Amino acid sequence: MSERKSEIVRKTNETDIHVILNADGSGKDKIKTGIGFLDHMLHAFAKHARIDLELSCKGDLHIDDHHTAEDCALALGQAFEKALADKRGIARFGYAYAPLDEALARAVVDFSGRPCAVVDFGFKRERVGDLSTEMIPHFIQSLATTAKASIHIDVLRGDNDHHRAEAAFKALALAVRQAVKRDDSDSVPSTKGVL
């Protein structure tokens, strides 16, 4: 079986991003986005998805966190799309629940080739650490766009917004881990024959 690795370089007037992804990794990561809470979420994502992920970003954080968070998600989605190629032999679908203390999140993923994100985090605060909470669902939407995946995330309960976000990223990681897992077939998991 071929290795499912990819490298993405994304340079704009707003961000300079470098991503290396190994979909068959063990959860190692080296992440430096300039946004501490986003680094924390991506660390949890890599660990629980069991992907190896290097992601570095130099962004215009003197303006705000929008371009950095959005472009990191776009580059990460591109890395998945490139690494999974024609998606031959993957499970395609994945779902998971993950708790973090009082918070509970559900994530469902379909690497369908059709981007869609439906998310409900139910945040109460404007920020968690140095990341605005409005950017967390936008991160997922941007990821879904370039990964060409359907991603549904619902945070079902939780009093603490840090816990709500982290439970969601862990549930997403577990769902992605299940969806990208290889089976013994060499077929594309679609009635159309392509994804």
pLDDT score at 127: 98
Q: Identify whether 192 is part of a domain.
A: no
Q: Identify whether 187 is part of a domain.
A: no
Q: And the tokens for 114?
A: 């059709």
pLDDT score at 59: 98
Q: What is the residue range of 105's domain?
A: 5-180
Nearest to 56 by CA among 14, 22, 20, 12: 20
Tell me the pLDDT band of 191, cut-offs 50, 70 and 90. confident
pLDDT in tens, 102-151: 999 999 999 999 999 999 999 999 999 999 999 999 999 999 999 999 99
Query: How many domains in the chain?
Result: 1
d(CA 70, CA 127): 16
Q: Identify whether 88 is part of a domain.
A: yes
Q: What is the mean pLDDT of the chain?
A: 96
Which residues is 11 bridged to in the sheet?
16
d(CA 138, CA 130): 15
Above 70 in pLDDT, residue 1? no
185 against 4, higher pLDDT: 4
Q: Identify whether 190 is part of a domain.
A: no
Cβ-Cβ contacts under 8 Å for 130 (sequence gap 6 or more) = 35, 36, 37, 65
d(CA 88, CA 52): 20
d(CA 52, CA 119): 25
pLDDT average, residue stretch 176-181 = 98
183 against 47, higher pLDDT: 47
Going by their DSSP bridges, the two strands 116-120 and 150-157 should be labelled as: parallel
Q: What is the CATH number of the domain that holds 149?
A: 3.30.230.40
d(CA 39, CA 33): 6
Percent of the chain past pLDDT 70, that is, above it, reads 99
Above 90 in pLDDT, residue 185? no
pLDDT in tens, 52-104: 999 999 999 999 999 999 999 999 999 999 999 999 999 999 999 999 999 99
